[in-house]
Chain A
Amino acid sequence: MAKVITVTSGKGGVGKTTTTAAIGAALARTGDKVVVVDFDVGLRNLDLIMGAERRVVYDFVNVIQGDARLPQALIKDKRLDSLFLLPASQTRDKDALTEEGVDKVIDDLRRHFDWVVCDSPAGIERGATLAMRHADIAIVVTNPEVSSVRDSDRIVGILDSKTLKAERGETVDKRLLLTRYDAVRAARGDMLKIEDVLDILSLPLLGIVPESPDVLKASNFGVPVSIHDPDSVPARAYNDAARRLKGEELAVEVPKQRLGLFGKFLRRAA
């Protein structure tokens, strides 16, 4: 029943951790039981974005090494009762995550949650392949620029060959999430067009998240952007993406240029 989602990209800094927190919270908001899992060993950040950094006692590696039981390491979200976090370890030993260890933890989590959302580290090394190993669904986070698109293409190839699903002859359900989309640069013609990215990567579109100061603001407060200000444009994009993951068919909205103060006032009044 449970579904494992891996948020991945190849390229660093495109918005994976932001997306993991936002999608996790958006799914939990609908009442589903959700755990977000940080696979970025040594560079843990999901705890910060979720506002749980001061409550980390045990982590993923402690559980794998038998120093803590899984329930001891899970941190319950302050705002949403059905949202939990499994933090990454800050160890510098990149081999601390073992295949068998990860298998056991994910199998356990599958039994207790509706959604297991894995935040992949950047790159195509072990950490990234371990994060995608159990994926039923992969959210390929891509910015509309050449290097991000190239790395996403590479990740798609790896999703098709190095996952448990691939080993079983099945395919991971891959969805494209276009993030940091800048309507002003798009209008100027200096940003890859949405159609071009879709055409090049040939993946179904999960959503478009605009470049927005709301993302930074939410991260300053340690609140997933999807629940910080649910009416903000990025929050709506993430909540809609979560509804699509749950099977709803919603048309994808292309973010428009930001409205000025006056436009905003008009929209509120409407």
Chain B
Amino acid sequence: MTLWKRFFTNGSAPQARERLQILLSHERQVLGGDDLLSSLREDILAAVAKRVPCERDSVKVRLERGAPMSILEIEVEIRGNVELGLTRAA
């Protein structure tokens, strides 16, 4: 393959990469470490719901695997404006 050809042919690999990145970031969230993420989600839900009302769907746990470090992203949506200083038991 000459340099010229390499320059002027744009292959399909970039499409493959992009589709995979989107798909896998979704699948890792849903299937992820299978048990790990769903149990984490349950634990977090239980901990948060003890203090503020919160539904199962509003807890999002995402794991971005990587080396040398992975990132665990936790997002909890809570309806309305949360009053600080006031803790209430569910």
**A residues near B, CB below 8 A?**
145-146, 149-150, 153-154, 156-158, 160-162, 184, 187-193, 196, 200, 202-204, 257
**Across the interface, which residues of B come within 8 angstroms of A187, CB to CB?**
1, 6
Contact among A150, A156, A160, A203 with B23 in the assembled complex (CB-CB below 8 Å): A150
Chain B, 11-52, contact with A by CB distance < 8 Å: what is the 0/1 string? 111101101110110011001111110000000000000000
Which 7 pairs show the lowest CB-CB distances between chains A and B? Answer: A189-B11, A187-B1, A190-B11, A196-B17, A161-B34, A161-B33, A202-B66
A153 touches B6 (CB 8 A): no
Assess whether A202 is in contact with B65, with CB atoms less than 8 Å apart: yes
> Is B10's CB within 8 Å of the partner chain A?
yes
Please give me the residue from chain A that is nearest to B34 by CB atom. Answer: A161
Q: How far is the CB of A192 from chain B (nearest CB, A)?
A: 5
Question: Whole-angstrom distance between the alpha carbons of A95 and B12 in the complex?
Answer: 42
The answer to whether A146 touches B16, judged by C-beta atoms less than 8 angstroms apart, is yes
Number of interface residues of B (CB under 8 A): 26
Task: Assess the B16–A158 pair: CB atoms within 8 A.
Answer: no
Report whether B21 and A189 are in contact in the complex, using a CB–CB cutoff of 8 Å: no
Task: Say if the beta carbon of B67 comes within 8 Å of chain A.
Answer: yes
B2 → chain A, closest Cβ, in Å? Answer: 10
Chain B residues near A184 (CB, 8 Å)?
1
Query: Which of B10, B13, B23, B27 meets A191, CB within 8 Å?
Result: B13
Complex Cα distance A204/B10, Å?
A: 28
Closest to A146 in B: B16
In the docked arrangement, what's the CA distance between A75 and B17, Å? 43
Residues of A within 8 A of B11 (CB): 188-191
List of B residues within 8 angstroms of A157 by Cβ: 28, 31-34
Which B residues fall within an 8 A CB radius of A? 1, 6, 9-14, 16-17, 19-21, 23-24, 27-28, 31-36, 65-67
Tell me whether A149 and B20 are in contact in the complex, defined as CB-CB below 8 angstroms, given that A189-B9, A204-B67 are known contacts: yes
Rounded to whole angstroms, the CA-CA distance of A161 and B38 in the bound complex is 12
A146 in contact with B9 given A154-B31, A157-B33, A161-B35 (CB within 8 Å): no
- Nearest A residue to B11 by beta-carbon distance? A189
Q: In the docked arrangement, what's the CA distance between A63 and B53, Å? A: 56
- Please tell me if the beta carbons of B20 and A150 are within 8 angstroms of each other in the complex: yes
18 cross-chain CB contacts under 8 A = A150-B24, A153-B24, A153-B27, A154-B31, A160-B36, A161-B36, A187-B1, A188-B9, A190-B12, A191-B11, A192-B17, A192-B20, A196-B17, A200-B17, A200-B21, A202-B66, A202-B67, A204-B67
Given A161-B33, A189-B10, A190-B11, CB of A146 within 8 Å of CB of B67 = no
**B16:A192 contact, CB within 8 angstroms:** yes
Contact between B27 and A150, CB atoms less than 8 A apart: yes
Q: A145, A161, A202, A257: which contacts B16 (Cβ < 8 A)?
A: A145
Residue of A whose beta carbon sits closest to that of B67: A202
Whether A192 pairs with B13 at a CB distance below 8 angstroms is: yes
Given contacts A160-B33, A161-B34, contact A200 B24 (CB under 8 A): yes
State A149–B28 Cα separation when bound (angstroms).
13
Additional A-B contact list (10), CB under 8 Å, known A153-B24, A160-B36: A150-B23, A150-B24, A157-B32, A187-B6, A189-B9, A193-B13, A200-B20, A202-B66, A202-B67, A203-B67
